[in-house]
Amino acid sequence: MNQVHKTISNNQLKEDFYFRKVAKQANGSVWYTQGKAVLIATVVADTESVEDDFLPMTVQYIEKSYAAAKVPGGFIKRESKPSDFETLTSRIIDRSIRPIFPKGFNYPITITILVVSSDSNVDMQVAAIHAANAALLTSNIPINKSIAATRVGMIDGNIILNPTLEMQEKSTLDLLVSGSHDDIIMIEMRAIGDENNINDIEEGELGKFIQSASRNISELSKEYEKEFLSLKPTPIEFKLYEISNDKEFENYLMSNFAKNIKETILHMAKSERSNALKELQIAIEEDLKDKNIEFDTKNLKETLAKLKAQVMRDMVLNEKIRADGRALDEVRAITIETNILPSVHGSCLFTRGQTQALVTATLGDKKDSQSYELITEKNSRYENFMVHYNFPGFSVGDSKPIGPTNRRELGHGNLAKRALECSVNVNQNQTIRVVSEVLESNGSSSMATVCGGSLAIVAAGVEVKSLIAGVAMGLIKENDKYVVMTDIMGLEDYEGDMDFKVAGPSQGVSSMQMDIKLDGIGVDIVKDAIVQAKKAKQHILGIMQEASNNIKPSLAVPKIEHFLVPVSKIGDIIGKAGSTIREIIEKFEVSIDIDRDKGGVKISGQDENKLTGAKDYIQNIVNSETKEPMVYEIGAVYKGKVKKITDFGVFVEMPDGFDALLHISKVDKSRVDNLNSIFKIDDIIDIVVIEQNGKKIELATPAFLN
């Protein structure tokens, strides 16, 4: 076959697609270029289906180091574990493409996107979605519907479609939307704050931005179909999985057990509902045996599950009744406990219905940040605000060991991070790590992580611009009739048509993520969900604010002092071979970090008095004249003036004007509990110099030596 080349231009994107050029043994492949970026996308499907009704699709987005003229770092000089960006991009592609597959397609399929040449100004996520879509659309797999993606940015109040990476650095909005024709399939959004503001996006404005993206997606997806479908070979016939469509059997079950099915759905607890459904199946089997009606156990189970979904959806759509009895816009009961872990900087146990997350915040410094690399950049970046999400099997009653972080955990942690990071000012010398341990899950544990994470940060003593709450919205849609549900639980997520997570402060949205099971929904439904989420978010924030007002500071939080000193004095503070700074650290039981270039000094410790003492000691060194102190006779008695009294010692002004520390351990051989009972400010006292090394002078009282 001859090579085919297609060029598509749309809103700052000029894409070139080369078909029949590479990987011709795959079901579909494309050599995709944009600028200097080159991606190879392939699609391969197995001819043997799996037994169950689900799509076993794997998406792999892989960046090769040579694409950026780099040799992989580390001991092993080859690509190994995928980076967070690669994993998150794989998820975005999966979420964009999965809904367009026909219902019942249960053949294992692998979509691979290799980045073999990078460009520092190309949006690799949009490029990867379009490359994967082109490979699928021109494959012999029966997919005739194209998707497209558009990123929306906002610079100085102006909306930019498909901004370059350089533009994205200046943008206060990062909105990625994928869809097909006029329908939306997937949304990823975050607001980008500055030092003073969250810069969250107002709900009404957000709807307009999504509408702009939708128009661009509609034009582009139609253009792809026009250009690519003519290249599609004769599709392979894949037999779609179908649950038994025995209407007579279904009618019998509905006629005799509809009330029982409804009762199982109305069980409040997730575990109770599951057990009730199993018991109902046993009862139906016994009924069928008694009446000599032949049945297949697997078929019965699938039909019962199908009817359960129909009954549940009908209850919500037509009767406005939810499984747990809530109103459509009602949030489950919430309880909050803060700083329940005594040795942790900040902690929160956030419980909403049957979803519970234990979220902690740990404060670190610059050296605790996470370094990472991007294929589009030469230098490493550093992440000093991290959110890690863990979802153990016991949270949903599964008997399985805890293993490595999976894609879902990484994705949920990233969503929570995007929601929270704009509310926190983290300077370059600071690191904050938030960890969520999901202890129980029945819907929206990622949003529980957002709520608990916001409070854990506050509980650690970190100043925030605003508390952030999150809520998951659901959808039941049949033809043109639909209902949006607030704070969905697991059943509503599983049997529903949408999982739409919205997070932010009281006014506006800081982060958003939408996935659907339909092949697309209109922008009007998205707008309705955003408005309904605002009411829920404000309700949750009211409860969170009350909990925040009652937070008791954790004793584990270190006290920190930041101040500047002349760069020329850094050497004096450190001392010869580090002797002076080691002495300060040992005597005052603190940690000290010094920025040699800017003269920044950070002192941290658990005792505020010792922290102040260390700061005073350093400032005494800084404020002392450049001249050397007089040389004292070791063992001789001198007169000194008491300048400051602390619980660990007395600062004494020596005859030459330099200050020295008389440590509490050198006052008297017997234990001294209160130095204020012995010394007063401005007292002239006798002191003995027992050691001197330049400006480092160690003192004792005559009583200690006698």
User: How many Å apart are CA 202 and CA 154, to the nearest integer?
Assistant: 13
The pLDDT tens digits of the residues spanning 533-573 come to 999 999 999 999 999 999 998 988 888 888 888 888 888 88
User: How many Å apart are CA 357 and CA 340, to the nearest integer?
Assistant: 13
395 and 527 share a domain? yes
Which portions of the chain are predicted below pLDDT 50? Answer: none
User: How many Å apart are CA 437 and CA 390, to the nearest integer?
Assistant: 5
DSSP state of 316: I
- Total domains in the fold of the chain: 5
- Identify the H or E element spanning 379: none
Nearest alpha-carbon partner for 206 in 171, 185, 175, 184: 175
354 and 486 share a domain? yes
Q: Could you give the angle at the alpha carbon of 447 between the alpha carbons of 548 and 534, nearest 5°?
A: 80
SS3 call for 184: strand
Show the tokens assigned to 525: 């439904």
49 and 66 share a domain? yes
Residue 240 within a domain = no
Nearest alpha-carbon partner for 215 in 189, 185, 179: 179
527 and 583 share a domain? no
Q: Helix/strand/coil (H, E, C) string of 102-161?
A: CCCCCCCEEEEEEEEECCCCCCHHHHHHHHHHHHHHCCCCCCCCCCEEEEEEEECCEEEE
223 and 275 share a domain? no
Place of tokens 């017997």: 670
Cβ–Cβ < 8 Å for 33, 16: yes
Residue 686 within a domain = yes
Residue 403, domain extent: 334-549
Show the tokens assigned to 636: 């001789």
299 and 360 share a domain? no
483-513 burial code (b ≥16 CB/10 A, e <16): bbbbbbbbbbbebbbbbbbbbbbbebbbbbb
Phi-psi region of 199 (alpha: psi -120 to 50; beta: other; left: phi over 0): left
Domain boundary among 292, 319, 346: 319
- CATH code: domain of residue 587: 3.30.1370.10
Residues 6+ apart with CB under 8 A from 157: none
User: How many Å apart are CA 224 and CA 218, to the nearest integer?
Assistant: 10
566 and 582 share a domain? yes
SS3 call for 694: coil
Longest dimension (CA), the chain: 111
295 and 345 share a domain? no
- The bridge status of strand 148-155 relative to strand 158-161 is antiparallel
226 and 263 share a domain? no
Tell me the pTM.
0.83
Residue 688 within a domain = yes
- Identify the H or E element spanning 649: strand 649-653
| pLDDT at site 610 | 86
| pLDDT at site 628 | 66
- With both helix axes pointing from N to C terminus, report the angle between 407-420 and 84-97 in degrees, rounded to the nearest 10: 100
Work out the mean pLDDT of the chain and round it to a whole number.
90
| pLDDT at site 513 | 96
| pLDDT at site 478 | 93
Cβ–Cβ < 8 Å for 701, 663: no
Show the tokens assigned to 377: 């950049």
Chain centroid to Cα 7, Å, comes to 36
The pLDDT tens digits of the residues spanning 376-407 come to 777 788 899 999 999 999 998 889 999 999 99
474 and 584 share a domain? no
80-90 burial code (b ≥16 CB/10 A, e <16): eebbebbbbbb
Show the tokens assigned to 557: 């939080």
User: How many Å apart are CA 201 and CA 215, to the nearest integer?
Assistant: 20
- CATH code: domain of residue 658: 2.40.50.140
User: How many Å apart are CA 562 and CA 566, to the nearest integer?
Assistant: 14
| Helices and strands in the chain, H and E counts | 15, 29
602 and 652 share a domain? no
| pLDDT at site 649 | 86
The pLDDT tens digits of the residues spanning 100-146 come to 999 999 999 999 999 999 998 999 999 999 999 999 999 999 999 99
| pLDDT at site 28 | 97
- CATH code: domain of residue 507: 3.30.230.70
462 and 502 share a domain? yes
User: How many Å apart are CA 89 and CA 520, to the nearest integer?
Assistant: 20
Cβ–Cβ < 8 Å for 705, 688: yes
User: How many Å apart are CA 138 and CA 203, to the nearest integer?
Assistant: 38
